Structure formats: structure tokens, C-alpha cells
Amino acid sequence: MKRILWTLSSVLAALGIAAAMLISLNLRGEEPLPATETLQSTPALVQRGEYLARVGNCMACHTTPGGAPFAGGRGIETPFGVVHSSNLTPDRAQGIGSWTSAEFWRAMHHGRSKDGRLLVPAFPYPNYTQVTPEDSDAIFAYLQSLPPAADANRAHALRFPYNTQAALAVWRALFFAPGAPAAEPTQTAEYNRGAYLVNGLGHCTACHTPRNALGATSDAKAFTGGLIPVQNWYAPALNAAHEAGVKEWRTDDVVALLKTGVAPQGSVLGPMAEVVFRSTQYLSNADARAMAVYLQALPQQDRKAPATAAPPPASAMARGGKVYEQQCAQCHGDRGQGEPGAFPALAGNRAVTLADPTNLVRVVLQGGYLPATAGNPRPHGMPPFQQTLSDEEVAAVTTFVRNSWGNQAPGVGTIEVYRARERRGM
């Protein structure tokens, strides 16, 4: 009996120590909040907050199509269930009208809501923790200036145990620590500004970094590319010339891509088109250049030798060539050369020969549309072929363009096309 009691007490003691450590890790860096509001809003602060909210692309998640701006309710699919964005308008019952700027800062910096609940990291507070209190205050002032919307917040539809505060506490203990922007003393002010924007409000690593089984990213793999489960697109590596690296580009061309969606070396499609449309086209010239400078300075990953793959079957190439001639050549050219300023070249296009063909298949299925920006107000687009081409035809034509005019990449199978359709209900 004594041995049983001793074992039980040891287990309880171990559980108590583990719980204490978990609580401590989840409270690190937090301080008591001021009892009253201390922020004095001004028109200049609100204007700056509007700019910063655009840099962070906050509206994209916190606005439903046709809904009131920032009124929340958008369902965001994750591997763990659906997360619904919250109402950020100053409505006191449903929004953040009863919040203080300090409580908003705690949400941004620590991922904790007004009532102390831990927030789901679909809200990218692992990036926003880098945002300064001053910038957080400006965003808060802007949100408080908006018309209140009484749209009710929708409960998340996460599976057990991901819908529990205990699971979130464990996740945070393993993968999150509050941070702050740290300037590199050996770098220029422009570089450090770019690092702040890219890693903080811009939260670029949230998409361009692979995630583990629990949805966490690693600094060691930052910018190396990853599949975006929410949208079923591949976010290419930003530190690899054969994917989306821009180290060898002219800085002005990187700025052009961020501000207009178009550069001599390529253009943006898919989720990045929405980012440019809603966010980066509004960057100041100085901030766009700072981001470009930082992205060009990323340490480049060594390119591994491409895996040896058997040439695609002649039948697939022949069928793909026929589809290309009928559906694609009019815009992209007989030799995949494209038309400068209108239709992108497919020959030598690194987006076409990515190891993961997801993006190419997605573009063929749902079309490709550049963002309408001040610098490119009437962009050309590509129509969708999801109702026109069968899975076999899509697989054949994508295989064809990946292996023609000097391109070389593994062929695309019908199962990959099927998965692309199935994931989006197409």
C-alpha cells in the first residue's frame, strides 16, 4: 500500500510540475495590463494605422465577400478544422469596442484575447509578435475609427483536441515565444526595415515556410517554401533561384512585382495576386524597396540535383501537344514564348517546372488572374478550363508544357489533377 501511495504521489507531483511549467511558458513576457485606456488617438495615428493594416493584409481574413469591412466571419479551413475570423470593428458587443489598446497589443504580441483565452495560431500572432507597441497602437486606433458592425462572431469548428485551451497551451509551450524586432547592427536601416515588415506584419513566412504535423513553422526552414493547406497552393521558396528567389533580380524589378504584380521576370497569380491586390500595392516606395532589399539578401539554399525521372510517355506528350495547340498556343505562342506585357512565356518559366506541380494544375483549372493595381490597372488574365478539359487532358497538357522548349520536369498524373479539383470542390 505504501508503495502504491508513493507511486501515486510521485505521479501527481510530476503532473503538478508539468502543469506549472506549462503555465509558466504560456505567461512568459506578459505583464499586468493598465486598468484604463492610455492611448490618445489622432487623425495622423489613424491614418498610419490604416496603412499598417493594409501592410498586414488584415481585411483579407477579417472580411467576408460582400460583408462589412473587418466584421469577421470568414471561414478559414485548416488541417484541424475551420477557424472563423473575429469581428474587429468597434462594436462593443461583437467587436473590439470594449477593448483597450493594451489588450489589443496583448493579442498581437502574446496571442491572448481580451478575456485571457489563448487564440488559435491561424491568427498569425507568431509573426505579429514582432510588431512594435507603437504600430499596434496605430492599427488599434484605425480599427476603432471604423463604423461598428454588429455581426456576431462565429464559433470555430475545430476537431478535438485542437478545440481545447489545453491543446493550445501545449502548442504554445512547444512552438511559440513572444519576440521583438531586433535590428542587425551590421546591416543598413533599409535592410532592417525590410526584415521588420517581411517577418512581422507581412507574415511572409506563414505561407512560404513548411509546417510540421501540428501546423508550426521553424526558423531553420524559413522561406524554403511550403504547401498552403488553406488554399491548396504551393508557396515557393523565397531563398531559391529555381523557385521564387529574387537575389539576382534588379531591386527595382522586385519593387515592381510587389507594387504592380508584374515584373520582367514574372508575375503573380493565385493567393499572391490577392496579397498584391489587397496589401503590397499600397506599400510606400520606401517600404517596398526595403522589403525587396531584405528578400534579396536572404541566404540562398543550395539547389539539389533534380531527381532523375523517366521521360513522359510519348502518348501523353502527343495528347498534351494537341490540347496546347487548341487551347493555349494562341496566347502563349507555338514555342511557349508568350507575349511580353500580356501573356507570360512558358519556356524557361520556373513556375512551370516547380517540383510540385500544384500551382500549374490550379492555374489551368481555375484560370490565372493578375491583380488590378495602380501600376497595372487592366491586366490580362487566363480563363479557367475546369469545365472544358478532363482530368486526363489537364494532366497531359501540363506534362507537355513542363517538358517542352527546354523545360524538364516530372510529368503530371490524373490523380494530381483530381486532388486539385477535389480540394476546392471543382
Q: Residue 20 falls within a domain, yes or no? A: no
Distance (Å, rounded) from C-alpha 398 to C-alpha 363? Answer: 10
Beta bridge partners of 227: 234
- pLDDT confidence of residue 29: 64
29 vs 44, residue with greater confidence: 44
Q: Structural domain of residue 318, as residue ranges?
A: 314-424
Q: What's the mean pLDDT in 359-373? A: 92
- pLDDT confidence of residue 27: 60
- pLDDT confidence of residue 388: 93
Of 175, 208, 233, the position where a domain reaches its end is 175
* The residue type at 389: L
Alpha-carbon 79 to chain mean position:
15
* Contact between residue 368 and residue 381 where contact means Cβ atoms under 8 Å apart: yes
* pLDDT tens, residue by residue, 290-328: 999 999 999 998 766 555 567 899 999 999 999 999 999
157/232 same-domain check: no
pLDDT above 90: percentage of residues in the chain: 78
Q: How many residues can be counted in the chain? A: 426
Q: Residue 409 falls within a domain, yes or no? A: yes
355/236 same-domain check: no
pLDDT for residue 423 is more than 70: no
- The grid cell for 290 is 526595403
Q: What is the CATH number of the domain that holds 339?
A: 1.10.760.10
Q: What's the mean pLDDT in 219-230? A: 87
* pLDDT tens, residue by residue, 177-207: 998 888 899 999 999 999 999 999 999 999 9
Element (H, E) at 199: helix 189-199
pLDDT for residue 425 is more than 50: no
Q: Residue 302 falls within a domain, yes or no? A: no
79/151 same-domain check: yes
* pLDDT tens, residue by residue, 58-82: 999 999 999 999 999 999 989 999 9
pLDDT for residue 104 is more than 90: yes
367/416 same-domain check: yes
Which residues touch 26 (CB under 8 Å, ≥6 apart)? 118, 169, 172, 173
* Contact between residue 29 and residue 95 where contact means Cβ atoms under 8 Å apart: no
pLDDT for residue 246 is more than 90: yes
347: confidence class by pLDDT, cuts 50, 70, 90: very high
Q: Looking at the 3D structure of the chain, how many domains does it have?
A: 3
291/363 same-domain check: no
Strands (E), 213-365: 226-228, 233-235, 262-263, 266-267
Q: What's the mean pLDDT in 393-401? A: 97
> What's the predicted TM-score (pTM) here?
0.89
- What is the chain's alpha carbon radius of gyration, rounded to the nearest angstrom? 24
